[in-house]
Amino acid sequence: MASHHKEMSKTKDKTKDMEKIMVTAVVVTYNRKALLEKVIRSLLAQTVEIGRIIIVNNGPTDGTGEWLAAEYGNDPRFDVVTQENVGGSGGFHRGIKEAAEHDTDWIWCMDDDVFPTPSCLETLLAYAARIEGAGILCPHRLMSGKTFTGEARTLNLGNPFRDMHNDMVTPEMVENAEWVEIEGMAFEGPLIRREVVEKIGLPNKDLFILYDDTDYSYRAVRAGYKVAVVRDALMEKHDFQSVTSYREEKMKNKWKLAYHIRNTAYFGHQYGKNVMVRYMAAIPFLITMYGAITFNFIKGHKYSVSDYALFWKMMMRGINGELGKITSY
C-alpha cells in the first residue's frame, strides 16, 4: 500500500513538473486547410497543455488565412504568420525564430500532414528527462497503422560511392527499442530544446525544401546533442502513398528532384569528410536517375535525355552554394 502511494506521488510530481514546462508548437502549412484543421485538433487534445501555437501560413490561396482568423483569431494561444511561399525551410526558419523570441522551453515542429496522438507530447517530454544530452526528440510515425520511417541512423559522409542515406532507420528498429539515436530527422514532429536553437541557430531557409531537416538535426549532433526517435510517442501521418511511393513520386516530379539533387550536393559539400564527398555526394543519385531515364525504369515520367544537363547543373549549384527558390532550370 505504501509503495502504491509512493508511485501515485511520483506521478503527481511528474505531472506538476510538466505543467511548468512551456512548449510552443510550430505548424507550417501551404494550401491544405482540411489537413491543418486536423493537426490543430490534435494539438489541442494533448494531455500536456501547449502554451502557444504558431501557424506559419506559406502563401495561401485556399482560404486558410480567413478560416484561421475566424476560428482562432481571438484565442491568445494562437499566432498566425502569413508570408509568401518560401518553402518548408523558410516556414520553419520563421516559426522557430518567432517561438525562440518568446518564453519557451521546447519548440514542437510539424508539417500540416501529421497528427500527434493525445499522449505524444507528454511521452516526448518524459524521454527528454530520461535521455542524457537529448536535444531533439522525434515521434514514432504511423501511416495507415504501420510504422513509417525516413530517418537516417547515421549519414554517410565518407564514401562518395554510396548513398548519403545508406544507413536508414527501419520499422523494426523503432518498434524493438524504447528510442533510437539518429543523425538525420524529418520536420514531422521533432521536439527541439530551446537551448539547441540558441546554440546552432535557425534552419537554413535557403534550402527551400528537402534536406533542411537533415541539415538541422546534423548540426545539433555536431554541437553535441542527441537526436532520437521515441517509440511510444505516436504520431499519425497522412497516407500520401496510397497510390505510389514517396521515392517514385519524387523521381517523377522534376522540381522536387531538382531540389533534391542541389541540396544533396550542398549538404555533402558542407559536411563531407573528404574532398571526394565534398564534390561527389550527389553522384550516386545522378547515376540512378540517368539509368532510370535511359532504360525507362520510372513509369509515367516526363524526362528526356536533355534533362541530364539539368541534373548536372543542379549538382553544381549545390556545390557552389547557389541556394534559394529555384525559379528557372
Residue 14 clears pLDDT 80, i.e. is over it: no
Could you tell me the end-to-end alpha-carbon distance of the chain, in angstroms, rounded to an integer?
A: 71
Tell me the mean pLDDT in the region 37-65.
94
| Predicted confidence (pLDDT) per residue in 215-267, tens digit | 999 999 999 999 999 999 999 999 875 544 545 555 557 788 899 999 999 99
Residue 109 clears pLDDT 90, i.e. is over it: yes
Query: In this predicted structure, which of 37-51, 85-99, 303-317 has the lowest mean pLDDT?
Result: 303-317
What residues does each domain of the chain span? Answer: 2-237, 246-319
CA angle 146, 42, 16 (to 5 degrees): 110
Could you please report the per-residue DSSP string of 100-159?
HTSS-SEEEEEETTEEE-TTHHHHHHHHHHHSTTEEEEEEEEEETTEEE---EEE---S-
C-alpha cell at 326: 529555384
Residue 313 clears pLDDT 50, i.e. is over it: yes
HEC assignment per residue over 160-198? CCCCCCCEECCHHHHHCCCEEEECECCCEEEEEEHHHHH
d(CA 290, CA 296): 10
289, 251 contact by CB (below 8 A) = yes
Which position has the grid cell 510538466?
18
Confidence of residue 9 (pLDDT cuts 50, 70, 90): very low
pLDDT > 70 in the chain, percent: 88
Sequence letter at residue 329: Y
Report pLDDT for 5: 42
C-alpha cell at 316: 553544381
| Predicted confidence (pLDDT) per residue in 166-210, tens digit | 899 999 999 999 999 999 999 999 999 999 999 999 999 999 999
C-alpha cell at 212: 533542411
What pairs with residue 137 in β-bridges?
Answer: 191, 228
Residue 280 clears pLDDT 80, i.e. is over it: yes
Tell me the mean pLDDT in the region 292-310.
70
CATH number of 2-237: 3.90.550.60
pTM above 0.75, yes or no: yes
| Predicted confidence (pLDDT) per residue in 147-178, tens digit | 999 999 999 999 998 889 889 999 999 999 99
Report pLDDT for 296: 64
166, 213 contact by CB (below 8 A) = no
Which position has the grid cell 506559406?
58
266, 321 contact by CB (below 8 A) = yes
Report pLDDT for 252: 55
Strands 188-193 and 134-143, how do they pair? antiparallel
Which position has the grid cell 545508406?
166
Report pLDDT for 207: 97
